[in-house]
């Protein structure tokens, strides 16, 4: 069964600092990988996704993530954080076309990001 | 941009009562999902729905739960007899296809069972 681990429950950074949120997954093959963000009172918004190809993917709001097969990781990064980035971030995995559960997303615990001015 | 709409945003109910959570998926989407998040825990998959039938469900989705697409636009989750442990945020999502495609989420309904 697929699983996702986000080791950091809560991260605090200063505005303008760089950010890296960690995500590790467990899956038998290369899955589809996603990062979602949730601001208070909002739904889950897709930041970026990895399906295949270039292992460095760009997303919205200046975020990027790198898929590392050898480490089973898909860490999210941003070079300079803005106060508006404060939110909860979720990493998720979905089985690829060869899997049997190709519809459902499996989420990590989430990482709450606090941004200090 | 099209969005998934969920109503109500907050539902308070007494234990043992039936509740119906409503969702309006994105109009040209064919696949529909319900997830839930108990406070402090992971977002968990409940059920997926395609072509007017359940395509997959988790072990959480027992006989107390049911889903329906009563018309061309709504997708509902019914809990027949709520328990305290059903208190959670319930998210609806929709997508245009399955393998590799993107699920779009609503803002959620917070269900509080007293």
Are B103 and B95 in contact by the 8 Å Cβ rule? The answer is: yes
- CA neighbor of A94 nearest in space, from B33, B21, B53, B37: B33
Q: In this structure, how many other beta carbons lie within 10 angstroms of the beta carbon of residue B11? A: 17
pLDDT of residue A42: 79
pLDDT of residue B66: 97
Q: What's the whole-number mean pLDDT along residues B64-78?
A: 93
Chain-centre distance for alpha carbon A115? 18
The more confident residue out of A106 and B2 is A106
* Best-predicted range by mean pLDDT (A43-57, A92-106, B88-102): A43-57
Q: pLDDT for A45-94, tens place per residue? A: 999 999 888 899 999 999 999 999 999 999 999 999 999 999 999 999 98
Contacts of B40 (CB under 8 A, 6+ apart): none
The more confident residue out of A41 and B23 is B23
Which tokens in the block code for residue A109? 């615990």
Q: Is A85 helix (H, G, I), strand (E, B) or coil?
A: helix
pLDDT of residue A7: 96
Strands A111-116 and B10-13: unpaired
How far does the CA of residue A32 sit from the closest CA of chain B (Å)?
6
| Preferred mutation among B2, B31, B42, B54 to probe A, highest tally of A CBs within 10 A | B42
> Is the per-residue pLDDT at B110 higher than 90?
yes
| Preferred mutation among A105, A108, A111 to probe B, highest tally of B CBs within 10 A | A105
pLDDT of residue A1: 77
> Is the per-residue pLDDT at B70 higher than 90?
no
How far does the CA of residue A78 sit from the closest CA of chain B (Å)?
22
What residues of B are in the A interface, CB distance below 8 Å? Answer: 3-4, 6, 31, 33, 35, 41-45, 48, 50, 55-56, 58, 91, 93, 98-100, 102-108
**Torsion sign, CA atoms B3, B39, A36, A107:** negative
CB contact under 8 A, B100 and A51: yes
Chain B partners within 8 Å of A107 (Cβ): 35, 42-44
pLDDT of residue A101: 52
- CA neighbor of B88 nearest in space, from B75, B97, B79: B79
Q: pLDDT for A36-57, tens place per residue? A: 999 887 789 999 999 888 899 9
Chain B partners within 8 Å of A46 (Cβ): 102, 104
CB contact under 8 A, A104 and B106: no
**DSSP E strand stretches across chain A:** 3-5, 10-14, 19-21, 24-26, 32-38, 44-50, 56-58, 64-68, 73-78, 87-94, 106-107, 111-116
> Is the per-residue pLDDT at A97 higher than 80?
no
> Is the per-residue pLDDT at A98 higher than 60?
no
What residues of A are in the B interface, CB distance below 8 Å? Answer: 32, 34, 36, 41-46, 49, 51, 90, 92, 94, 96-97, 101-110
| Preferred mutation among B100, B108, B109, B110 to probe A, highest tally of A CBs within 10 A | B100
Determine the Cα–Cα distance for residues B43 and B38; give it in Å rounded to an integer.
8
């Amino acid at each position: 069964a697929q699983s996702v681990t986000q080791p950091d429950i809560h991260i605090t950074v200063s505005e303008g600092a760089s950010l890296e949120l960690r995500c590790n997954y467990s899956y038998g093959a290369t899955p589809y990988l996603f990062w979602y963000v949730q601001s208070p009172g909002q739904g889950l918004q897709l930041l970026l996704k990895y399906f295949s190809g270039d292992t460095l993917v760009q997303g919205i709001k200046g975020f990027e993530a790198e898929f590392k097969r050898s480490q089973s990781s898909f860490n999210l990064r941003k070079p300079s954080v803005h106060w508006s980035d404060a939110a909860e971030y979720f990493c998720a995995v979905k089985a690829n076309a060869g899997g049997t559960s190709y519809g459902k997303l499996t989420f990590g615990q989430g990482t709450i990001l606090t941004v200090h001015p | 941009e099209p969005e998934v709409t969920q109503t109500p945003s907050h539902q308070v109910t007494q234990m043992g009562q039936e509740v119906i959570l409503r969702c309006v998926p994105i109009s040209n989407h064919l696949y529909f999902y319900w997830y839930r998040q108990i406070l402090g825990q992971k977002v968990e998959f409940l059920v997926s729905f395609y072509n007017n039938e359940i395509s997959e469900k988790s072990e959480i989705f027992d006989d107390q739960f049911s889903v329906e697409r009563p018309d061309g636009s709504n997708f509902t989750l019914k809990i027949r007899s709520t328990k305290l442990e059903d208190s959670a945020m319930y998210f609806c999502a929709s997508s245009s296809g399955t393998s590799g495609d993107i699920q779009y989420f609503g803002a959620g309904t917070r269900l509080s069972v007293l």
